[in-house]
Structure 1
């Protein structure tokens, strides 16, 4: 017990960005591991069709939640992070969010009969409940993020995700199907909000029109940009549901979730850096902004590139072993979406930095072009080549977005890439790929354990090589481990 207490005490002494990134990464890994295991269970027990209905619910919720938030959530994080009138900005956002949510719920009730998928699955009422709960939980989370408490926010998000799965598993076992999956999600949001509220130090005060106006100025562009991002993340699900069926939705979304392992590092850093970059931009400390971007990109690609190569070599067997024969047919989708995750590293960081540096209009312009291209390609490609077409449409438009965002951001800051680090990542990944390829050539992947052994060999090989070749990664990893004080003896031969 004393050892654990000492470790937590040491973690608190680490640089804030490193500390919050570690916490975020920990929860990313924890939830992804639990999410993978639970999805395997859902895939074998409930099947692709039930999962498809649940993913359609998430897609609709993403759209409705975006509308009821109106972009004010991101705007209030920005304004609170700047340190001027944080309570007033929070109060204005809370009231606006509540008004938008109530209005949105009333509109949905009027047009209830048009949501056939939700009504057939008996989850329309759950949608309304989740929107109302989010109207309370969202402002709490935004307030915590705006104050720079990203470790708290990420921890509560992790608790939400894990508790959701812990409820969904017995619900599926008891036969509640889609309702059980949706109910678990609602319960997770409520539990996280309760815990997060204990660390919430803002309060409601009288606000003025200038606070609302300031939120509107920023949220207008952020709302439009978020709408575009939502198209990338959810429109593919809706298009598959429209042109094909819920079973194909389930297959596509399970594979997309599987590729999320490549986004561990970028998700953790992106959530942590947003308020920091916003603060640096406000205080004109451009040096810190320009220094943080290339490191964030390099650390994100440390995982994304080897995962892509590993997916090419082992993806077909992993899908078959983990989810079943129905999902193994999505091998080509897996490869394309893993490539999407690599491109996402650039696209998300470039647009995030544009927003955090108070240029959301530029981010919207970039996203708007991609949105139009994404919709057009989905409509053309899905009838021709099915879910492979969705993946290709996503890759093409995400690449376009990344290039446009790079051009836009370069007008406000110098963008550099750490060429040596990227070279080290590529060399380490190629060597790993050769070793795993030889393993597969001589060892038949006849069961899940032999396949997992191949993954373990590849992971250990890559980890050793990247630490050996990249002195920056080596030094920072060693520094963090020594500061945490977990008793790990750093190998002298590295």
Structure 2
């Protein structure tokens, strides 16, 4: 697998996903208002938390075993069989607490939740199976199609007057598209389930389950607690701020997805030196983009929310800044966690997760009750920092971990200079609205790239390699066998 080409494919698709998704959320937020969009976000939250039970680490275990080449047909069949059991259990749990769940969500949504859960879980299982075949780049278009179908059909349903239910219909249609497409893409044929394969999946899944819980907890726990103690409108404003910050993780999530199967292969070949060479580069690239994003949001937080979504969402301006700090650390954690899982030390990732979930839960309850929306952001950010530090410590105990301090320092200097330029432009221009925001963002991007190109280490380690990867991607591959 060509890491650079696969990473760029995934990044371009995720960039397309982000544009489509962000455009959809913007329209949905304006059409429905913070209260109605807040109800949909709560539905997504419950769906996300329920997948913890529905997956139980099976998807990640299947990707790991397929990347190792262990009886692929049998592994796939066994994973599907196990998945049927775990999804049935999660669906039964939803139906068991249906009255309470409908009251929490503000409508009769439990049945929709079961349907969405079943389809989403198998879509994600088949997508990760394709990644396990070391064909990461080919899953990019599937992910894009899922988002595109959700947004376009969701918009059609909303404009037809279906409201929140319309967004749910679109979500289900998007997952159905992804499930069918990914299954057709699989080169591995479904064999017969085997008990030995089930135990092999379990050996990895029991730790991957805890590590995957971390992602679900970070993404949904704060929203769930806000929905419990505050209003639907608060949920809507907070989640809109969260979605804005997710754009920062495009690169780190791309690196995480792309690196995992390759790290797994190198680990099985005992090629530790290759892993040690790639990790610092990945961290440097992730921070090269997340640091200036934080600075930009620090300067333009109010303008982003007011201009793009509407003035009623500006109650989350402070939340946006704090969550952007969380994304800076999360961008590093994506690389660290993916590497630990790739070298088969998912047990250490799980250990970090146990600690940070406890911190996240306790702080969220305490700070939401005392501080409100900003308290949820502070709690989640604190937990993210702790997890990043723990994963860094654990990885350094298994390989030689070199943090690119010089690269981080120069990225920070360039970002600070960019922030001053953007602040000056925002202060000097005599108008507001979308024109001001567009000019500030454009000036920010141009100034940051200019400052970075002037600094030798950034130019040599990030800017020039990035241009080379882009050029090589645009050039046809030399061999069809290297097209993934």
Offset, 1:378: 0.9
Query: Does structure 1 residue 259 correspond to structure 2 residue 249?
Result: no
Offset, 1:135: 4.3
The within-5 A match list for 1:278-297 is: 278-297=264-283
Q: 2:469 aligns with which of 465, 480, 488?
A: 480
Deviations 1:393-437 (A, max 9, x none): 011111111111111111101111223322331222122112112
Whether contact under 8 Å (1:98, 1:135) holds in the other structure is: no
1:446 aligned counterpart, secondary structure: coil
> What residue number does 1:490 align with?
none
Query: Does structure 1 residue 200 correspond to structure 2 residue 186?
Result: yes
Offset, 1:239: 0.1
Query: Does structure 1 residue 392 correspond to structure 2 residue 381?
Result: no
> What residue number does 1:407 align with?
393
Query: Does structure 1 residue 437 correspond to structure 2 residue 423?
Result: yes
2:187 aligned counterpart, secondary structure: coil
> What residue number does 2:156 align with?
170
Whether contact under 8 Å (1:317, 1:445) holds in the other structure is: no
Matches of 2:300 and 2:184, distance apart in 1: 44
Matches of 2:351 and 2:470, distance apart in 1: 42
Matches of 1:30 and 1:485, distance apart in 2: 17
Deviations 1:157-193 (A, max 9, x none): 1110121111111211122111111111110111122
Matches of 1:16 and 1:290, distance apart in 2: 18
Offset, 1:291: 1.1
Structure 1 residues 481 and 397 mapped into 2: Cα distance closer, same or farther (>3 Å)? closer
> What residue number does 2:481 align with?
none
2:185 aligned counterpart, secondary structure: coil
Offset, 1:85: 0.8
> What residue number does 2:479 align with?
none
1:330 aligned counterpart, secondary structure: helix
Whether contact under 8 Å (1:229, 1:367) holds in the other structure is: no
Q: Which runs of 5+ in 1 are unaligned?
A: 1-14, 488-494
Structure 1 residues 245 and 353 mapped into 2: Cα distance closer, same or farther (>3 Å)? same
How many residue pairs get aligned? The number is 473
Which 10-residue stretch deviates more, 473-482 or 95-104? 473-482
Whether contact under 8 Å (2:255, 2:335) holds in the other structure is: no
Q: 2:56 aligns with which of 29, 48, 70?
A: 70
When normalised by structure 2's length, the TM-score is 0.94
Query: Does structure 1 residue 90 correspond to structure 2 residue 84?
Result: no
Offset, 1:486: 7.5
Whether contact under 8 Å (2:102, 2:108) holds in the other structure is: no
Q: 1:151 aligns with which of 133, 137, 143?
A: 137
Q: 1:182 aligns with which of 168, 171, 177?
A: 168
Offset, 1:134: 2.9
Whether contact under 8 Å (1:445, 1:451) holds in the other structure is: no
Matches of 1:359 and 1:486, distance apart in 2: 37
> What residue number does 2:224 align with?
238
Offset, 1:361: 1.5
Matches of 1:473 and 1:83, distance apart in 2: 33
Q: 2:328 aligns with which of 342, 345, 349?
A: 342
Matches of 1:216 and 1:236, distance apart in 2: 29
Matches of 2:211 and 2:192, distance apart in 1: 30
When normalised by structure 1's length, the TM-score is 0.92
Matches of 2:398 and 2:326, distance apart in 1: 26
Q: 2:100 aligns with which of 114, 130, 140?
A: 114
Whether contact under 8 Å (2:67, 2:265) holds in the other structure is: yes
> What residue number does 1:42 align with?
28
Matches of 2:323 and 2:45, distance apart in 1: 18
Offset, 1:194: 2.1
Matches of 2:318 and 2:109, distance apart in 1: 32
Whether contact under 8 Å (1:123, 1:182) holds in the other structure is: no
Matches of 2:183 and 2:243, distance apart in 1: 29
- How large is the Cα RMSD of the aligned pairs? 1.7
Whether contact under 8 Å (1:90, 1:139) holds in the other structure is: no
Query: Does structure 1 residue 383 correspond to structure 2 residue 372?
Result: no
Matches of 1:474 and 1:390, distance apart in 2: 36
Matches of 2:468 and 2:212, distance apart in 1: 37
Whether contact under 8 Å (1:121, 1:179) holds in the other structure is: no
Which 10-residue stretch deviates more, 433-442 or 89-98? 433-442
Structure 1 residues 74 and 37 mapped into 2: Cα distance closer, same or farther (>3 Å)? same
Matches of 2:122 and 2:467, distance apart in 1: 41
Offset, 1:137: 2.2
Matches of 2:423 and 2:383, distance apart in 1: 31
Deviations 1:28-49 (A, max 9, x none): 2112122222222112110111
Q: 1:427 aligns with which of 392, 405, 413?
A: 413
